Amino acid sequence: MTDSPALPPAAPATASPATVRAAAFGALAGGFVVCVAGYLALAAPGSWIGGARELEWTAGELSITRGAGQLTRDGLVLTASDPARTVVVSLATSFRSKDYPAIAWTTAGIPDGVEAALLWHNDYQPSRVFMRPLTVEAGRIAPASVARERNWIGHINGLALVLRGSFTEPITLRGATAKPMTPVQVLGDRVSEWIAFEPWNGASINNLTGGANAQDLPLPVLLAAVAAVAALIYAGLARWRSRLFGPSLGTVVAGFFIGAWLVLDARWQINLLRQADITHEQYAGKSWRERHLAAEDGPLFAFIEKVRAKLPAPPLRVFMVADAHYFRDRGAYHLYPYNVYFDPWRNSMPPPSAVRPGDYIVVYQRKGVQYDAAQQSLRWDGLAPVGAELVLVEAGSALFRIR
């Protein structure tokens, strides 16, 4: 009687946890490489090997050739345009156009309705000025890709920024950059946007952008794409080796998206800690009044303090007006418990027929209000004048009592 041949060991029903983890991390790494490489292939037209260094110019190297402004610690502050509602800021340069396919202006506070354009000279036609419109978003100028501009050739011997429109608030220009748009430089710019500190603002209670206000590639979009591509890679692996990786497919895919959410949450927590540190520096150890003066509306609070010192005791009707709705709202808040009237939605003033003797009007940084001291009359927005006494005046702000 002979022994029967030994049967081969049965294949394992599923892969070991270590094998699953290795496959999951491999799929995640593959998804990251695919997404980042795909983005850089589209967004980085510069050389992938070597490349020129980035050129930067500070605000002190810029010159205002049209309009008005002054150099401050924050940058070049543009305060007024010329009669044609235009501001031109120029910059002397000398670089090869093919090495720098993008130009970026670092700006802040550009109001809606202001148009921007890039001007330049080249050494092929030095007597001509070439122009390309720029995109304004979230109060800043988006970097301009000029590689495909027909006249972006030769040496660039001068750049200029043109702003056209109504300058209701000062615009800050911190400098300019000529970008080689290499993969390293583009990826560095994106990382800087993702980790940029995002201070609290009026919309923070509802959402946070997650870094810079305007981003060419928002971090949530990248993380979602990486998780989705990694899920597809792992699903392909599970289909190829269904007995090994199929049972863990749902858990691994869920883990990819939970991991992406945790990365975003970690970035939010870091931003929160930075904001807490700034808030502590701003308010810790100060009295109630000192905290108000240190707040964003500190100058308004200081002015309202002087207004309240001039007002009789309540009850009293007080109209609060300002160009900015934030100042109208906060001014009314600081004036309570007086009977305060203000428009939270529109930059409007009460019709002259709505005010009566004994009312007070608080004007804070609002245009279109005129006072005739000789006639003791007040008028606004071209309407009929009303009798009024000037009680308090500061730069751009005043308190009037209706007569």
CB 370 within 8 A of CB 361: no
324 or 5: whose pLDDT is higher?
324
Residue at 65 is within a domain: yes
Residue type, 150: R
Query: What torsion do the CA atoms of 24, 25, 27, 28 make, to the nearest 10 degrees?
Result: 120
Kindly tell me if the per-residue pLDDT of 1 is higher than 70.
no
Q: Each residue of 253-281: pLDDT tens digit?
A: 999 999 999 999 999 999 999 999 999 99
Residue at 20 is within a domain: yes
Model confidence band, residue 362 (pLDDT cutoffs 50, 70, 90): very high
DSSP string, 240-288: HTHHHHGGGHHHHHHHHHHHHHHHHHHHHHHHHHHHHHHHHHHHTT--H
Q: Which two tokens stand for residue 151?
A: 């006249």
Q: Are residues 270 and 300 in the same domain?
A: no
Residue at 7 is within a domain: no
Residue at 50 is within a domain: no
Residue at 85 is within a domain: yes
Class of residue 295 by CB neighbours under 10 A (exposed 0-12, middle 13-18, buried 19+):
middle
Question: Residue 119: which residues within 8 A CB-CB, separation 6 or more?
Answer: 88, 129, 130, 131, 159, 160, 161, 162
DSSP string, 10-22: PPPSS--HHHHHH
- DSSP state at residue 399: E
Q: Which two tokens stand for residue 278?
A: 């700034």
Q: Each residue of 282-325: pLDDT tens digit?
A: 999 999 999 999 988 899 999 999 999 999 998 899 999 999 88
Q: Each residue of 332-343: pLDDT tens digit?
A: 999 999 999 999
Q: Are residues 261 and 150 in the same domain?
A: no
Q: Are residues 81 and 32 in the same domain?
A: no
Q: What angle do CA 137, 143, 148 make, to 5 degrees?
A: 125
* pLDDT attached to residue 24: 94
Question: Residue 51: which residues within 8 A CB-CB, separation 6 or more?
Answer: 99, 180, 182, 184, 185
Q: Are residues 314 and 352 in the same domain?
A: yes
* pLDDT attached to residue 47: 86
CB 362 within 8 A of CB 399: yes
Helix, strand, coil shares, percent, the chain, to 5 = 35, 25, 35
* pLDDT attached to residue 6: 57
Q: Each residue of 7-19: pLDDT tens digit?
A: 555 555 667 888 9
Q: Which domain holds residue 171?
A: 55-181
* pLDDT attached to residue 34: 96
Residue type, 255: G
* pLDDT attached to residue 202: 66
Q: Each residue of 115-168: pLDDT tens digit?
A: 999 999 999 998 999 999 999 887 889 889 998 899 999 999 999 999 998 877
Kindly tell me if the per-residue pLDDT of 169 is higher than 60.
yes
Model confidence band, residue 3 (pLDDT cutoffs 50, 70, 90): low
Query: Quick one: which of 318, 285, 339, 312 has its CA closest to 402?
Result: 318
Q: For the chain, how big is the Rg over CA atoms in Å?
A: 31
* pLDDT attached to residue 214: 74
Residue at 314 is within a domain: yes
Query: Quick one: which of 370, 363, 371 has its CA closest to 318?
Result: 363
Residue at 8 is within a domain: no
184 or 2: whose pLDDT is higher?
184
Q: What percent of the chain clears pLDDT 90, i.e. is strictly above it?
A: 66
Model confidence band, residue 109 (pLDDT cutoffs 50, 70, 90): confident
Q: Are residues 227 and 113 in the same domain?
A: no
Q: Are residues 123 and 146 in the same domain?
A: yes
Domain boundary among the residues 181, 199, 225 is at: 181
Kindly tell me if the per-residue pLDDT of 51 is higher than 90.
no
Q: Tell me the residue length of the chain.
A: 403
Q: Are residues 137 and 194 in the same domain?
A: no
How far apart CA 353 and CA 308 sit, in angstroms, is 25
* pLDDT attached to residue 113: 84
Mean pLDDT within 19-44: 94
Q: Are residues 298 and 383 in the same domain?
A: yes
Q: Are residues 210 and 260 in the same domain?
A: yes
Tell me the average pLDDT of the chain: 90
Q: What percent of the chain clears pLDDT 70, i.e. is strictly above it?
A: 95
Domain boundary among the residues 160, 181, 202 is at: 181
Number of domains into which the chain is organized? 3
Domain boundary among the residues 250, 284, 318 is at: 284
- Phi/psi of residue 366, nearest 5 degrees: -125, 130
Residue at 49 is within a domain: no
Measured CA to CA in angstroms, residue 89 lies from 40, 60, 78, 248, 258 at distances of 32, 12, 9, 60, 48
Q: Are residues 135 and 237 in the same domain?
A: no
28 or 167: whose pLDDT is higher?
28
Q: Are residues 230 and 305 in the same domain?
A: no
Q: Are residues 235 and 352 in the same domain?
A: no
Model confidence band, residue 80 (pLDDT cutoffs 50, 70, 90): confident
